[in-house]
Amino acid sequence: MERKVGQETVPMKTEFPKLLEPGKIGPWDMPNRIVMAPMGTLNADKDGFVTDRTLKFYTEQAKGRFGMIVVECTFIDELASKGEENSQTLTKNEQITGYARLASAIKDYGVKAILQLNHMGKQITLMDRPSWGPSTMNEIMGGVMPFPIRGMSKAEIKQCEKDFAKAAWRAKMAGFDGVQIHGSICHLIAMFCSPFYNHRTDEYGGSPENRVRFYKEIIEEVQKECGKDFPIIARLAGSEYSPDGLTLEEGIEQAKILEKTGVVCFHIVGGDYRNVRCINAQYDKRGDFIEIAKGFKEAGIKIPLILDGGFTTPDIAEKALEDGVCDYIGLGRPAIADPLWAVKLAEGRPEDIMPCIRCTRGCVGTMETFNAAVGLRCSVNPRCNMAGIREVNPITKVKRVGIVGGGPAGMEAARLLRERGHEVDLYEKRKLGGTMNEAAFALELKGDIKRLIDYYVVQMDKRGVNVIREEATAQTIIDKGYDAVIVATGADALPAKCKGSDAHGDKVTVLYDYATDTDAVDVGQTVMIVGGCFMNLEMALSLLKKGKNVIVSSRRGARMGLMELGDDNSSPQQQRLSILLGSYLRTGQLTLKLNHAFLEVTAEGAILRDNKSKAEEAVACDHVIMCRGYHGRPKLWEEIRAAIPETYLVGDATMRLRCNDKRVIHHAIEEAWGIANNI
């Protein structure tokens, strides 16, 4: 089915019977097949207690009527399991009261409340805590911080098993319906299961059966403490997709052993932090771990499977259920992008679901930088983790508001203003989406951005935003007599001016111009990209996938195994991009010229200068693509506000000579929401 909206046509599926079908996991009757997967929030206090912010966050999520919510990673001891400050722990009986309030907040909405228990192992980041693992070893990226890993003694193993059991008992006393034991993505249990980390020669190492023994004994210890009727979900990585890591065959063998313990369900993911595939960034396929679940089913695993991995839209989730590769769909980031995901589906309005764009900046990126002051955030949902702070304000008077620019900032402002009851005219002379259309230049890389554009286009239509297809001038806006104006005109790319560009202008293109129409410029076979900023590297990956040879020159040096990726190196999406580019580096299709300044474009290619030796080098290439940064367009705002005082400037229009990766969709949407909520 398609929905015609103005000049755009948006594909749309409206019925999702499998996702909305009731089901059963162990003793639980499930109202649907949608599970909110665990996502860290950093909302706990420094002692690991549940806070009011925790309760507000999960209350908001429970209103979304997921069949089950798996509450975030909760640590089981005060010695080595806690990964970062402001993470939840359940190590003391006095914490039970807070967790009881949390369980009730979720269950009040008819949602099953499950608590995830975990030991971080090597992923610990607290400087005063040991980094535990099955074996002593040093790893280049030994966790989020490069700590050496210390192998555990048998006494420590047994104590850890008891700590899991005690934490599970406290969860049971608090009223949780069950617990999930975290055994994936490089955390302690997963390290025992993995041949890469487990080099032990005793009963806990060697064969897949021995390596899963620690996990099996934890489950059995929990059953002793809580009774066999207390449900346990086992979370595991069916395959790590890494050299010398856990294979799918071994993952299946270990799952069969765990199934015999009586766990009620497997929650399946894949990958690890060495390849960052466990995060599922924009460059990875949606439903990335379907092959793992399919392997489990074909191997005869009988208990239900919850599957995570890039289910950003209902259509791909529905198909996974239709094909029988899994029984339930786990939503992590999509559930925070739109907490009402399941409600909107049940009400027959999937077009109103705000899509997760898998950018990893607000959610996982915040966690990677351990910014507890900010906590969990979302690039497309300004209200994420802000319940009680960012609430939609009622209006006392209907205002006529003019918005100039139909990019993410302009459309988010229009959406919220109409939701609140204001009248809105939106001026956009070209396709709705603004520079998001260029950001989605390679749909095999950035299809999630296209889905975000589709969402906003539909919202403009459904909410009655008057879209005016013309270029707005200051006089046009002033003559309309608006009560308030929002200028969201975006930014202009700086021109490709460099030495030699006057004589050889046909050989050099600004990245923005090339992204606007990749067929308009013949870049030849060998392309040089000047600069190592994030969008430049995405363009490099797009060209490499098309079979081009790519040279990336950067004034900066090596970092993270590949190269500097700009200021925000903590983003898992950037780490994933670095890894994918590395595969082309090894084949020779990608060449890096690090610590080299770009000097000149020539008839044969370009001239670079080595920053260390100062030697100049002529490099042959067919075309040069460069990004010199962007400059906002504040002039219209300055002209209008002289006549209409309530005039605001938002989004990229506020930029001043900044490179494209300094401000992202998150900033545009959040700024627009704040202004639109206070008009």
Strands 8-11 and 2-5: antiparallel
Superfamily of the domain at 2-19+35-368: Aldolase class I (3.20.20.70)
pLDDT score, position 511: 83
What is the per-residue pLDDT across 307-316, written as a single tens digit (0 to 9) for each? 998 899 999 9
Report whether pLDDT(51) > 80.
yes
Higher pLDDT, residue 640 or 564: 640
pLDDT score, position 447: 78
Report whether pLDDT(372) > 70.
no
Model confidence at 373, in pLDDT bands (50, 70, 90)? low
What is the per-residue pLDDT across 591-618, written as a single tens digit (0 to 9) for each? 888 889 999 999 999 999 998 899 999 9
pLDDT score, position 491: 80
What is the per-residue pLDDT across 314-328, written as a single tens digit (0 to 9) for each? 999 999 999 999 999
Model confidence at 38, in pLDDT bands (50, 70, 90)? very high
What is the per-residue pLDDT across 540-558, written as a single tens digit (0 to 9) for each? 888 988 899 999 998 876 5
pLDDT score, position 7: 47
Report whether pLDDT(382) > 80.
yes
**Measured between alpha carbons, how far is 235 from 233 in angstroms, rounded to an integer?**
6
Query: How far, in Å, are 218, 496, 540, 649 from residue 37 at the CA level?
Result: 21, 45, 33, 37
pLDDT score, position 568: 42
What residue segments make up the domains of the chain, in order of their start? 2-19+35-368, 400-493+631-676, 505-628
Nearest Cα neighbor of 102 from 154, 38, 36, 174 is: 174
| Averaged pLDDT for residues 188-211 | 97
Nearest Cα neighbor of 371 from 662, 40, 88, 42 is: 42
pLDDT score, position 142: 41
User: Could you tell me which residues come within 8 angstroms of residue 507 by beta carbon, excluding any fewer than 6 positions away?
Assistant: 601, 603, 622, 623, 624
| Class of domain 505-628 as given by CATH | alpha beta
How many percent of the chain have pLDDT more than 90? Answer: 63
CATH of segment(s) 400-493+631-676: 3.40.50.720
**Measured between alpha carbons, how far is 83 from 88 in angstroms, rounded to an integer?**
10
What is the per-residue pLDDT across 106-153, written as a single tens digit (0 to 9) for each? 999 999 999 999 999 987 766 667 789 999 988 755 444 556 899 999
Report whether pLDDT(440) > 70.
no
Handedness of CA 23, 27, 29, 30 (dihedral sign): negative
Let me know: does 461 contact 502? Beta carbons within 8 Å: no
Report whether pLDDT(492) > 90.
no
pTM listed for this prediction: 0.90
Report whether pLDDT(657) > 70.
no
Higher pLDDT, residue 284 or 650: 650
- 3-class state of residue 326 by DSSP: coil
pLDDT score, position 627: 79
What is the per-residue pLDDT across 384-422, written as a single tens digit (0 to 9) for each? 999 999 999 999 999 999 999 999 999 999 999 999 999
pLDDT score, position 129: 73
What is the per-residue pLDDT across 469-489, written as a single tens digit (0 to 9) for each? 999 999 999 999 999 999 999
Phi, psi (rounded to 5 degrees) for 205: -140, 170
| Averaged pLDDT for residues 424-436 | 87
pLDDT score, position 618: 94
The mean pLDDT value of the chain amounts to 88
Model confidence at 13, in pLDDT bands (50, 70, 90)? low
Report whether pLDDT(521) > 60.
yes
pLDDT score, position 438: 67
Which residues, in sequence order, are bridge partners of residue 9? 4
Report whether pLDDT(338) > 60.
yes
How many percent of the chain have pLDDT more than 70? Answer: 89
pLDDT score, position 75: 96
Let me know: does 151 contact 200? Beta carbons within 8 Å: yes
Higher pLDDT, residue 620 or 565: 620
Higher pLDDT, residue 197 or 582: 197
Classify residue 153 by its DSSP letter.
Answer: P
